[in-house]
Amino acid sequence: MPLTRDFRQTIRARATRDAAFRKALFQQAVQALLQGDIDAGRSAMRDYINATIGFEKLSTALGRPQKSLMRMFGPSGNPTAENLFGVIGVLQAETGVHLKVRVVADAA
């Protein structure tokens, strides 16, 4: 189901004014990818990109075509590790939201 323009605008407005919300969006996207939920991770990453710097600025920063990046995070996208980590690096630098990875023991 495609997102409505109003939803995107709502997410972008909240991300602009709420640093905790921005952080949670980014964290959710990367966490989903790390847990193997690739579809949810791509979708959340696309929402985060749209809510923060946008694909045009991301394209300029990475030197990759905007349409290619949009497809990468679309429903049938398949970003390579190199592209994915490049995007995450740019997003951290441009948005000021930096992620740390830590090991958590399973509660067995």
pTM of the complete model:
0.84
Burial bucket for residue 45 (CB in 10 Å: 0-12, 13-18, 19+): buried
- pLDDT of amino acid 41: 94
**Predicted local confidence at residue 17, as pLDDT:** 87
pLDDT at 105: 86
pLDDT recorded at residue 9: 80
Report if residue 100 sits inside a domain: no
Domain assignment present for residue 102? The answer is no
Residue 42 lies in a domain: yes
Task: Enumerate residue ranges in the chain where pLDDT < 70.
Answer: 1-5, 107-108
Structural domain includes residue 79: yes
59 part of a folded domain: yes
Residue 24, classed as helix, strand or coil, is helix
Q: Has residue 70 been placed in a domain?
A: yes
pLDDT at 8: 75
Residue 38 is predicted with a pLDDT of 93
Looking at the structure of the chain, the number of domains it has is 1
pLDDT at 19 (0 to 100):
86
Residue 104 lies in a domain: no
- The whole domain housing 41 covers 5-95
Residue 101 in domain: no
